[in-house]
Amino acid sequence: MAWNTIDNMDLQGKTVLVRVDINVPVEDGKVTDDTRIRRIAPTIADILAAGGKPVLLAHFGRPKGKHVPEMSLQPLVPALEATFGVPVAFCADCRGPAAMAAVGALAEGSVLLLENTRFQPGEEKNDPALAAEMAALGDVYCNDAFSAAHRAHVSTEALAQALPSCAGRLMQAELEALEAALGQPQRPVVAVVGGAKVSSKLELLGNLVEKVDHLVIGGGMANTFLAAQGIDVGKSLCEHDMTDTAAEILAKADKIGCSILLPSDIVVAWEFKAGAANETVAADACPADAMILDAGPDTVSRIAGVLATAKTLIWNGPMGAFEITPFDAATNAAAQTAAELTQTGQLISVAGGGDTVAALNQAGAADRFTYISTAGGAFLEWMEGKTLPGVAALEN
Ligand code: ADP
Ligand code: MG
């Protein structure tokens, strides 16, 4: 993979169309979490420092090609100005004469925010006519929205084809982390996969089995794998119609030489609630009236053993029902081990997924990982081995 960065583009005096993800939570017209805005700030600062004029393109919500006033980007202007520390102008369109005029009037050292690209029916259709019109607004295209890169839209794909293009800092960091984790990883590579269901992560498991040396399976989906081995999982979350598929994954792993680590002991409870009475038993000893909510300490130490031999870790999905204590124990322990090995320089650790990021934050381990992807769907599609149109379009 090869793509341009801000460093190898000539941006002096150029108008740079920057695709960003600023789909931030807003309540009563105020931004309540500016994480996504802070993460794109380095890109904006570097474009300004290189003499470029940043024009931001972004979506907000799902207006489905219609002008929905509640999904305007305008309320974000104060938060953008506060984070970037420069004036941010707004234009109520992202195409046509108004957008042209706003770009023409953009002063050096300022940023322009164009209205929600998804107000345009052509955006999600990757419409060439819209692409041509929007490309005419700028000289260079910079994509800093990895989280939208699994969509082939005008603002993520067609513009990269139409203009000289580069990756923004956030996109660059994400691509470098992902490349280090699965592209050209240092081996052995361990994948930790957990979460609720096998069915939502089938493609992911299939791809990982081919690429990693060890696959740790935890969380609710491990129950389906236990059931596939003829183990009674009682009232646990389990997809009984997926046991054949789980068995196929195990067989494929065996054939390829990918070792699989399933829970050897489990924490069971009779109620799905915080502080519920629980017992730790062997993986094949779940009482008929109980459910498996976490992996046990023996499993945790086996996971730690595998991590200690690994050079690279890729993680998606919690090891248990981490939202309710004490069933966050296995997730927390594995997260701590990974964080410590990362800090001593033994491990490159990359994690992503909505609940995974929440779980690693809750464990207090997230900031000691090498990279935490907040990209959600795009991260999962990349873990599934899919080509992301927004990334492919950036490639030279
Ligand atoms: P991500 O969002 O990171 O991709 P998932 O959505 O696949 O992760 O999985 C997270 C969910 O899995 C959490 O809500 C968690 O409570 C649930 N989960 C994990 N282990 C179990 C279990 N043993 N029983 C029931 N739910 C579980
Ligand atoms: Mg989830």
From first to last of its 396 residues, the chain has per-residue pLDDT tens of 689 999 999 999 999 999 999 999 999 999 999 999 999 999 999 999 999 999 999 999 999 999 999 999 999 999 999 999 999 999 999 999 999 999 999 999 999 999 999 999 999 999 999 999 999 999 999 999 999 999 999 999 999 999 999 999 999 999 999 999 988 899 999 999 999 988 889 889 999 999 999 999 999 999 999 999 999 999 999 999 999 999 999 999 999 999 999 999 999 999 999 999 999 999 999 999 999 999 999 999 999 999 999 999 999 999 999 999 999 999 999 999 999 999 999 999 999 999 999 999 999 999 999 999 989 899 999 999 999 999 999 997
- Is any ligand 1 atom within 6 A of the Cβ of residue 352? no
Among residues 371, 360, 309, the alpha carbon closest in space to that of 335 is found at: 360
Is residue 393 included in any domain, yes or no?
no
CA of 220 to the centre of ligand 2 (A): 12
Domain end point (choices 173, 202, 219): 173
Work out the number of other CB atoms within 10 angstroms of the CB of residue 311. 15
Domain end point (choices 173, 202, 217): 173
Q: Is there a contact between 163 and 286 (Cβ–Cβ < 8 Å)?
A: no
Q: Do 232 and 378 fall within a single domain?
A: yes
Q: What does DSSP say about strands 30-31 and 26-27: parallel, antiparallel, or unpaired?
A: antiparallel
Q: What does DSSP say about strands 265-269 and 278-282: parallel, antiparallel, or unpaired?
A: antiparallel
- Is any ligand 1 atom within 6 A of the Cβ of residue 196? yes
Q: Whose CA is nearest to atom 9 of ligand 1?
A: 195
Q: Is there a contact between 182 and 314 (Cβ–Cβ < 8 Å)?
A: yes
* Token pair recorded at residue 126: 């990757």
Measured from the alpha carbon of residue 377, the closest ligand is: 1
Measured from the alpha carbon of residue 195, the closest ligand is: 1
Measured from the alpha carbon of residue 322, the closest ligand is: 1
Continuous segment of H or E residues that includes residue 352:
strand 348-352
Is residue 258 included in any domain, yes or no?
yes
Instruction: Report helix, strand or coil for 347.
Output: coil
- Is any ligand 1 atom within 6 A of the Cβ of residue 321? yes
Is residue 391 included in any domain, yes or no?
no
Is residue 301 included in any domain, yes or no?
yes
CATH number at 134 reads 3.40.50.1260
Q: Do 199 and 159 fall within a single domain?
A: no
* Domain extent for 31: 6-173
Q: Give the per-residue pLDDT at 396.
A: 79
Q: Do 225 and 368 fall within a single domain?
A: yes
Q: Give the per-residue pLDDT at 1.
A: 66
- Is any ligand 1 atom within 6 A of the Cβ of residue 317? yes
Mutate to test the pocket of ligand 1, among 280, 331, 355 (most ligand atoms within 8 A of CB): 355
- Is any ligand 1 atom within 6 A of the Cβ of residue 323? yes
Domain end point (choices 141, 173, 205): 173
Q: Do 229 and 271 fall within a single domain?
A: yes
Q: Which atom of ligand 1 is nearest to the CA of 223?
A: 23
Q: Give the per-residue pLDDT at 197.
A: 87
